[in-house]
Amino acid sequence: MALKKIFFALPVCSSRWISTSYSRSAGFQGSKANIPLEMKLRMIERKKRRVEKLSKQPLAFIPITDFFIPYSWKMDERARPKLEISEEEEDKRVLLEKEWARKTFRSRKQESWKIKLLLRHQQRALEELRQESEKLYNAALQCEDLSIPFTCRGPVQSTPLEGYLPPLGGYEHTDPLFSKDDLSLPEV
Amino acid sequence: MATQLSSRLFHKIKQGGTRWFYSYNRCIVSDKQSLSKHLKREVHDIEQVSSQCPSPWMLQAGVCLIRLPLIEEDLSEFQKRYISLKEQMEYENSILNEWELEKIKQTQLMNDIESGKRDASEMDFKVSKQDYEDDYNQAFKEFTESTTELDLNDADFKNINRRPKDYLVLISKQKLGNDTVWMLPTEEWKEEENLRQSAERALTSHCGTLVDASFVSNAPSGFYKYKFPKNARTDAYVGAKLFIYNAFVPRVSETQSTATFNLDIDLNKMLDYAWVAKDEMRNFLKPKYSKAIDEIIF
């Protein structure tokens, strides 16, 4: 990867400007300006060979681009005109959030209570079974392999329409290997 | 996972002659292992006792075949308000997307052309994005008005697709002595068979072999003890202990919200059957019985 050189201009005193490069080793900048043609051609060939080598390897995954916000999104023209929210509205929103927190806590508690009840009933059934016969109790304690890993399909949002035939087949999620968004790294 | 259980254990101890002594211990046990340790002490006594006097309870296995909800529950008013608030906040904190940018530019262009600031030759589109949006909204409106959802018959108790938002249980009408009683499909336990197999046998003998049901575990999910009416009691059995096994009607596919149930009834055993929700159970079953099943269904 080529070194990205970023120049910063710093004023030392009123009449002179010193430019320093961002990278640690400034290198012999401008050293490749006057080279004989043959050498240039040789350098180009070497680079081509390197590119060929790399192209033979399988494509590597690029990092997740969700964390990089493309530059074009940060422009002013993309900003949505802000709505002014009155104080009453803000208070209402905050109170709704608090009520939601209370309700979810409550529903979670109810769910865990239901699960505890299920377990409790099972325990009681096993106790009573044990009092009847040890053999059946041991058979009941056996672990069933088929149900692990357990998979379950959830409910749907609405009933099917009259006379509607859903298309056959599943839905494939294909993420593109290389995204087309421009990353927020500065181009030199 | 440590589960706190308080168990009341009844055990009979024969003390001196023919006096039977009932005592119960209430203990809080921290987890399953220590519970079984505690029980082991008692079981020794029972095994000694049972060899002298077998248990008066007939063992039965029953199947609680559950049809899970096909459709999501309706959102409550509060949930709808919260969802709309969240959507509003997300909309406010978002940025314009490309479609909206184009739309704004196009409307600006059209306004400028009308007012004369710009030339009509600069129009680079035939159909504006706003027109597309209007078309889409129109098509959606027509679609929702023209099509109707399937009317699942809620009143027919034999229809497995009734009441799609609830948990349904299969109950059957069986002969118990001289009476016909509504209860879960049950079978008496036979020798050389464990309880889960007798539960599966109960399902196939009542509903036929084509029924598709997935049992979840070898252990029973629920328990119900009842005494026979006095004229039906024999020397061997005072009553029965019913161990209930949960089974689920599997979902066929993700897209379809209907379930299928292939019945092959044995009319000697199952005179009638019904798919029943929790609130309707009390109309068919005895209160204690329905309470025993109620809490197993979730």
Q: Which of A69, A75, A77, A80 has the highest number of chain B CBs within 10 A, making it the mutation to test binding with B? A: A80
**For residue A61, is pLDDT > 80?**
no
In chain B, % of residues over pLDDT 90: 31
Nearest Cα neighbor of B235 from B58, B107, B44 is B58
* Spatial contact of B200 and B215, defined as CB atoms under 8 Å apart: yes
In chain B, % of residues over pLDDT 70: 79
Tell me the two tokens of residue B193. Answer: 């068979």
Region of poorest pLDDT, from B13-17, B30-34, B161-165: B13-17
Q: What are B28's strand-pairing partners?
A: B6
Please tell me if residue B53 touches chain A, with a CB cutoff of 8 Å: no
Look at residue A120 in the predicted model and tell me its pLDDT: 95
Question: Residues 87-146, chain B: which have Cβ within 8 Å of A?
Answer: 89, 92, 94-96, 101
Look at residue A142 in the predicted model and tell me its pLDDT: 87
Contact list in B for residue A139 (CB cut-off 8 A) is 194-196, 218
Contact list in B for residue A160 (CB cut-off 8 A) is 149-150, 256-258
Contact list in B for residue A128 (CB cut-off 8 A) is 223, 225, 241, 243
Q: What are B171's strand-pairing partners?
A: B274
Look at residue A20 in the predicted model and tell me its pLDDT: 56
ipTM of the complex: 0.71
B248 φ/ψ angles, rounded to the nearest 5 degrees: -120, 140
B213 φ/ψ angles, rounded to the nearest 5 degrees: -145, 140
**For residue A4, is pLDDT > 80?**
no
Round to whole Å and give the CA distance between A65 and A58: 20
B182 φ/ψ angles, rounded to the nearest 5 degrees: -85, 120
Q: Which of B254, B258, B278, B294 has the highest number of chain A CBs within 10 A, making it the mutation to test binding with A? A: B254
Give helix B98-115 / helix B129-146 axis angle, nearest 10°: 120
CA distance A7 to chain B (A): 33
Q: Which of A122, A124, A143, A182 has the highest number of chain B CBs within 10 A, making it the mutation to test binding with B? A: A122
Q: Residue A24's pLDDT band (boundaries 50, 70, 90)?
A: low
B169 φ/ψ angles, rounded to the nearest 5 degrees: -125, 145
Look at residue A27 in the predicted model and tell me its pLDDT: 73
Look at residue A62 in the predicted model and tell me its pLDDT: 66
**For residue B15, is pLDDT > 90?**
no
Region of poorest pLDDT, from A26-30, A89-93, B263-267, B277-281: B263-267
Round to whole Å and give the CA distance between B65 and B247: 5
**For residue B27, is pLDDT > 60?**
no
Region of poorest pLDDT, from A143-152, B119-128, B242-251: A143-152
User: Could you say which of A121, A131, A159 has the minimum Cβ distance to residue B46?
Assistant: A131
Region of poorest pLDDT, from A124-128, B25-29, B113-117: B25-29
**For residue B63, is pLDDT > 90?**
yes
User: Could you say which of A73, A144, A164 has the minimum Cβ distance to residue B217?
Assistant: A144
Round to whole Å and give the CA distance between B259 and A155: 11
Look at residue A145 in the predicted model and tell me its pLDDT: 73
> CA–CA distance from A9 to each of A13, A17, A21, A28 (Å)?
12, 7, 9, 19
Region of poorest pLDDT, from A51-65, A103-117, B212-226, B237-251: A51-65
Q: Who has greater pLDDT, B12 or A69?
A: A69
* Spatial contact of B293 and B247, defined as CB atoms under 8 Å apart: no
Contact list in B for residue A78 (CB cut-off 8 A) is 95-96, 101
Round to whole Å and give the CA distance between B187 and B214: 18
Q: Which of B8, B58, B64, B195 has the highest number of chain A CBs within 10 A, making it the mutation to test binding with A? A: B195
Please tell me if residue A157 touches chain B, with a CB cutoff of 8 Å: yes
| Kind and range of the H or E run holding A94 | helix A87-132
CB atoms within 10 A of CB A177: 9
Q: How many CB pairs under 8 A join A and B?
A: 151
Q: Who has greater pLDDT, B53 or B114?
A: B114
Round to whole Å and give the CA distance between A121 and B68: 20
Q: Who has greater pLDDT, A157 or A50?
A: A50
Query: How confident is the prediction for chain A on average, in pLDDT?
Result: 79
Q: Nearest residue on chain B to A83, judged by CA atoms?
A: B92
Q: Which residues of B270-286 are buried (b: 16+ CB within 10 A; e: fewer)?
A: beebbbbbbebbeebbe
Round to whole Å and give the CA distance between B65 and B138: 45
Round to whole Å and give the CA distance between B87 and B83: 6
Q: Which domains does chain B have, with CATH numbers?
A: 2-52 (no CATH), 57-70+158-297 (3.90.79.10), 77-142 (no CATH)
Q: What tens digit of pLDDT does each residue of B134-161 get?
A: 999 999 999 888 887 777 778 888 888 8
Tell me the two tokens of residue A34. Answer: 């006057």
B257 and A141 within 8 Å at the Cβ level: the answer is no
Look at residue B177 in the predicted model and tell me its pLDDT: 72
Contact list in B for residue A144 (CB cut-off 8 A) is 216-218
**For residue B206, is pLDDT > 60?**
yes
Region of poorest pLDDT, from A95-109, B257-271, B279-293: B257-271
